[in-house]
Amino acid sequence: MAGFALTTEQVAIVEHEGSAFISACPGAGKTRCIVERARAVLSKSETRHGLAFLSFTNAAVSELQERLAKNRLLPAPIFPHFVGTFDSFIWHYLVEPFGLDGCDNPLKVIPGTGDLIVTPFPGAQGLRLDCFERSTGKIIPEEARKVGFNRDPARYETAAQRLRVRLLERGQLDFDDVRRIANGNLADKAFSNRLGCILSARFGEIIVDEAQDCNPDDLSIIDWLRDTAKIPTKVVCDPHQSIYGFRGGVSDELFKYASTFAENEQLPLTGNFRSSLHICKVVHTLRAPSHRGEEEALGPLKDCDLNVHVLSYGGKGVSTQIGTAFTTIADKSGIDPKDCRLTAKTRNIVD
């Protein structure tokens, strides 16, 4: 990928000053684009602001860090720049420095607080803190059923609330607490303006990668960065690759959000450097008509003429016939089964 000259679309992004919504197809070279944008910004000697690169998984963050390091674009330590997860950014710049009313200790993120056991009196059956609603403190019926708890929850609920209060007093937060506090801080207009001012003095641009993994909450924070803090924000996503259902990532919200960008700020990447033309065509067909973009195969494999085979199966399970048919097709195309990649919903299927 690195050997290719940048496409017109990619150049448009690398040279674009200000906010942008970048909708990229798979294999579009998003990371390369981001790295080149970093190079363009950092090579200008007048640049004194930091750059912030946000993503949603540690894997994505590592990949980007590696690429930036390989290209010798960031100093070590990377200060004043930032490369990290969205949660990490929120923690460092919206929550940690500002403390919590009623807590004199430094704040710490303790991911496992949900696993703490609530026992209202010695000898009682312990229930995980996760079993209790965060805001109301009431026990969550499904969780109670899961562990076979059917007693009067009142004393447990009180104990759970007390435990949460104690954790907050000690400054021991979990990710949800962090979000809640961040939103609370931003809701304070005076604080929000002050913070927006200093963050925009610190960061000249923010690039959010894998934004398809944002939930509405995340989007409102990106909004805050772009509109209140007035930091140019480039949102990069593949709207069709959202995999974190549990985080509430929703495609509709994302498209709605895209429309808040001006027309000259919509910079799509339609060149697919990974897949063959045939695959692109199939994907195009499989998508809902309203979501069909123009996708062009540009990579080294674009002319690969291996056909795409769609094998359907009825019922709930995947039968072994699928496996046989797969191996036959692979054989015919001269591909060693060892070189085949399988992705499936569960391990069982693959076996």
Partner 1 sequence: MYLKELSLNNFRSFKSSTVSLQPDLTILVGENNSGKSNAIDALRLLTPPLSGRREIYCQLTDIRFDTGTGFDLSARYDDLNAAQQGRLVSACPDKAMTDAVFGLSYDETKGGFPTRPALWAGIAGRTPESGSHDMIRHVYLPALRDAKYALASGNPTRIYALLRHFLKDADPADLIKALSRDTDHEILETIGGSVDDGLEALTAGVRQQTASLGFSKDEKLIDIARDLKFSLADQGIEPEDLSYSGHGYANLLYMATIAVELENVSNADLTLFLVEEPEAHLHPQLQAAVLAFLKDRAVKSRETPKDDGSPAGEIQVVVATHSPNLTASVPSKSMVFLRAVVSETETATPAAGAGGEGGVAAVEEVAVIATEATGVETEKAPPTLRRETRSISLADLLTNAKERRKIDRYIDVTKASFMFGGRMFLVEGIAEALLLPVLAEKIVLKDDEAALRRFRSTTFVPIDGVDFQPYVKLLITPQNDIRIADRVVIVTDGDGPKTLENGLTAGENRKRIYDEIAEGVDATTICATYINDYSLETELLSAGNHDVLKAAYIVCHPQSEEKWDNAVAPAGDELATSMHTLFKETRKGDFAQVLAELIEDGAEFVVPKYLSDAIKSISA
At residue 305, what is the residue type? D
Distance of CA 154 to the CA centre of its chain: 38
Rounded to 5 degrees, φ, ψ at 50 are: -90, 165
Q: Are 137 and 160 in contact (CB under 8 A)?
A: yes
Task: Out of 202, 247, 281, 284, point to the residue binding partner 1 (CB under 8 A).
Answer: 202
Interface stretch with partner 1, choices 13-21, 35-43, 96-104, 270-278 (CB under 8 A)? 96-104
Site track for partner 1 across 154-193, x = CB under 8 A: -------------------------------x-----x--
Tell whether residue 147 is a contact of partner 1 (CB under 8 A): no
Residue from 40, 71, 99, 184 in contact with partner 1 (CB under 8 A):
99
Candidate ranges 74-82, 219-227, 235-243, 246-254; the one touching partner 1 (CB under 8 A): 74-82
Q: What is the chain's percent helix, strand, coil content, to nearest 5?
A: 50, 15, 40
**Contact at 8 Å (CB) between 49 and 194?**
no
Residue 92 is a binding residue for partner 1 (CB under 8 A): yes
Q: Does residue 93 bind partner 1 (CB under 8 A)? A: yes
Question: Which of 86/93 has CB closer to partner 1?
Answer: 93
Alpha helices for 53-212 (secondary structure H): 58-70, 86-90, 141-146, 154-169, 175-187, 189-202
Nearer to partner 1, 22 or 52 (CB): 52
Three-state DSSP class for residue 219: helix
User: Cis bond leading into 77, ω under 30°?
Assistant: yes
Closest CA to 36 of 62, 4, 58: 4
Shortest Å, Cβ 187 to partner 1: 13
Question: What token pair was written down for 200?
Answer: 């925009």
69 in contact with partner 1 (CB under 8 A): no
Using CB under 8 A, pick the residue from 21, 53, 203, 224 that binds partner 1. 203
The pattern of x and - marking residues 105 through 144 that bind partner 1 according to CB under 8 A reads: xxx-------------------------------------
CA 10 distance to own-chain centroid: 22
Q: Where along the sequence are the contacts to partner 1 (CB under 8 A)?
A: 46, 48-50, 77-80, 92-93, 96-99, 104-107, 185, 191, 194-195, 197-204
